Amino acid sequence: MSLKLSQESQRVPEVADDGIWLECIECGETFAPFEAVRYTCDDCDGLLEVRYDDLPTWDDFENDERGVWRYNAALPFEEGVSLPEGDTPLHEVPRLEESVGVHRLRIKHEGMNPTGSFKDRGMTVGVRVAEELGVDRLACASTGNTSAALAAYGARAGLETLVLLPEGKVAAGKIAQASLHGARILEVDGNFDSCLDIVQDLAARGEAYLLNSLNPFRLEGQKTIGLEILERFYADEGRYPDRIVLPVGNAGNTAALYKAFRELVASGALHPRDVPKLTGVQAEGAAPMVEAIENDADEVRRWNEVETKATAIRIGNPVNAPKALPGIRETGGTAVSVSDEAITSAQRALAQEGIGVEPASAASVAGLQKLRNQGVVEADEDVVCLTTGHLLKDPDAAFEAGDDPEPVPNDTDAVLRHLEGRSGGVLSKLTSRFTR
């Protein structure tokens, strides 16, 4: 496998601050990291990436910290605004592993972060950068989880927060979080992509500091998902996973994991042949990345109409596509779309292993199952699926996927008669298998 490593050449530009700078992924222009607020390249509007003069190896992560900031050797600061985040479980799922039919399957459950999604990893770094820049109002467009994380981390830092959400398309748990943590919530009569257009305009006019994953610093925090997976999988299994399967919305995580791997390869910590195949999963009703991969296109075509019950990935214009497409291609991965029914079925299968996730998260497992059935994923592979958000984020979807409560009289004998009379509920769940 040939990873494009030329980008990691150790040329430190004059604008660097303590060995850190921003670089345009399109034209290579470099910028000082913390002097001015900037999200994209001044010259060509390309996406920016954080660059480091010094890239860490595994030894550099040996310290007493846990979670995201244990990896501060790979981050722009020593510490950040922390709740704390990261250090999430890498579950074993023996029954699911068998029914999917791969050699090893582990589930990295990012729903176990402080606000219940991986967005916390990006926010702990992003809000630290906001402090460095001295801004006083933070903003994001969100399908829900980014707004929950921004509200919590903004509150922690004592900063004002503003979130733009697509009206009627955000799961209840997420709005509840943004609301209680004190964000000002604007419900836009449009989809996520329209919310992002507006908040980018507001940011460009200096009204707020933008903390969507267009912000390159958020992706730095999200790199730690990849670092944790590799470290834990290696400690447990004595080798690295062949493949990492993840849900794709704006493709920030796909870009972040790819960057983590490239930096490890550049520092000599990871052999290029040990880089896991990045495999993205989208819902059928919102699959522009899958379309680009299938058509071998250089660019992603914006989908104006998107629909799926997996609201966290109900996105038609993935802003990080230019960073993520090479990540999928150069690691030998692929992208696949799955139906809402397959997502619900995977959500149930995970729940039967005790792992509660929201619909978007279950897309990873549904995608793996589909690729395994197609023979794209082979039986001898070691796979990690990323589950991005917690079950309680979307209680309505959980109720729909699960069995209904059974009303019974206020009387023990009547309860017993009811239990004998019907073997529904719990038992039907235990016996229903994850169907291929």
Ligand X SMILES: *Cc1c(COP(=O)(O)O)cnc(C)c1O
Question: Under the rule (CB under 6 A), what is the footprint of ligand X?
Answer: 117, 119, 145, 213, 247-253, 312-313, 358, 360-361, 388-389
Where does this chain touch Zn ion (CB under 5 A) — which range of 21-29, 120-128, 221-229, 333-341?
A: 21-29
Choose from ligand X, Zn ion, none: what does 41 bind? Cβ within 5-8 Å by kind: Zn ion
Structure tokens at 252: 């920030």
Residue 414 touches which of ligand X, Zn ion, none (CB < 5 to 8 A by kind)?
A: none
C-beta closer to Zn ion: residue 51 or 390: 51
Find the binder of Zn ion among 8, 29, 87, 132 (CB under 5 A).
29
User: Which residue reads 């799922």 in tokens?
Assistant: 93
End-to-end alpha carbon distance in the chain: 31
Q: Which does 117 bind (CB under 5 to 8 A by kind): ligand X, Zn ion, none?
A: ligand X
Report how far residue 341's alpha carbon sits from residue 71's, in angstroms, rounded to the nearest whole number: 38
Binding at 46: pick from ligand X, Zn ion, none (beta carbon under 5-8 Å per type): Zn ion
Selection from Zn ion, ligand X, none that 252 binds (CB < 5 to 8 A by kind) is: ligand X
List the one residue from 44, 297, 419, 427 that touches Zn ion (CB under 5 A). Answer: 44
Task: In angstroms, give the least distance from the CB of 39 to Zn ion.
Answer: 12
Tokens standing for residue 188: 């836009």
- Give the nearest distance from C-beta 389 to ligand X in angstroms: 3
- In sequence order, what are the residues at sequence separation of 6 or more whose Cβ sits closer than 8 angstroms to the Cβ of residue 127? 80, 81, 138, 150, 153, 154, 156, 157, 159, 211
Is 42 a binding residue for Zn ion by CB under 5 A? The answer is: no
24 binds Zn ion (CB under 5 A): yes
Q: Which of 13, 46, 89, 190 binds Zn ion (CB under 5 A)?
A: 46
Cα separation, 193 vs 200, whole angstroms: 11
Task: Name the residue nearer to ligand X (CB basis): 56 or 252.
Answer: 252
Pairing of strands 160-166, 243-247: unpaired
From candidates 26, 132, 231, 274, binder to Zn ion by CB under 5 A:
26
Contacts with 339 (C-beta within 8 Å, 6 or more apart), sequence order: 283, 284, 366
49 binds Zn ion (CB under 5 A): no
Smallest gap, in angstroms, from Cβ of residue 253 to ligand X? 4
Which of Zn ion, ligand X, none interacts with 247 (beta carbon under 5 to 8 A by kind)? Answer: ligand X
* Gap between the Cα atoms of 108 and 88, Å rounded: 7
Compare residues 248 and 265 and give the one whose CB is closer to ligand X. Answer: 248
Say whether residue 54 binds Zn ion (CB under 5 A).
no
Burial class (CB within 10 angstroms; exposed 0-12, middle 13-18, buried 19+) of 129: buried
Burial class from Cβ neighbours inside 10 Å (0-12, 13-18, 19+) for residue 144 reads buried
Question: Of ligand X, Zn ion, none, which one does residue 43 interact with (CB within 5 to 8 Å by kind)?
Answer: Zn ion
Q: Which stretch binds Zn ion (CB under 5 A): 42-50, 145-153, 283-291, 423-431?
A: 42-50
Whole-number Å distance between alpha carbons of 382 and 60? 26
Contacted by 249, from Zn ion, ligand X, none: CB < 5 to 8 Å by type: ligand X
Side-by-side strand order, sheet with 20-24: 30-31, 20-24, 48-52
User: 107 or 251: whose CB is closer to ligand X?
Assistant: 251
**Minimum distance of ligand X from residue 291's CB (angstroms):** 15
Question: Which token pair is 381?
Answer: 């592979």
AA identity, residue 62: E
- Candidates 57, 124, 46, 59; CA nearest to 86 is 124
Least separation, in Å, of the C-beta of 249 and ligand X?
Answer: 3
Among ligand X, Zn ion, none, the one that 27 touches (CB under a kind-dependent 5 to 8 A) is Zn ion
For residue 36, the minimal CB distance to ligand X (Å) is: 26
Q: How far is the CB of 19 from ligand X (least distance, A)?
A: 27
List, as one string, the DSSP characters of 62-83.
Answer: -SS--GGGGGGGGSSSS--S-S
Q: 361 touches which of Zn ion, ligand X, none (CB within 5 to 8 A by kind)?
A: ligand X
The helix or strand, by DSSP H or E, that contains position 292, with its residue range, turns out to be helix 288-294
Question: CA–CA separation, 392 vs 403, rounded Å?
Answer: 16
Instruction: Note the residues at the interface with Zn ion (CB under 5 A).
Output: 24, 26-27, 29, 41, 43-44, 46
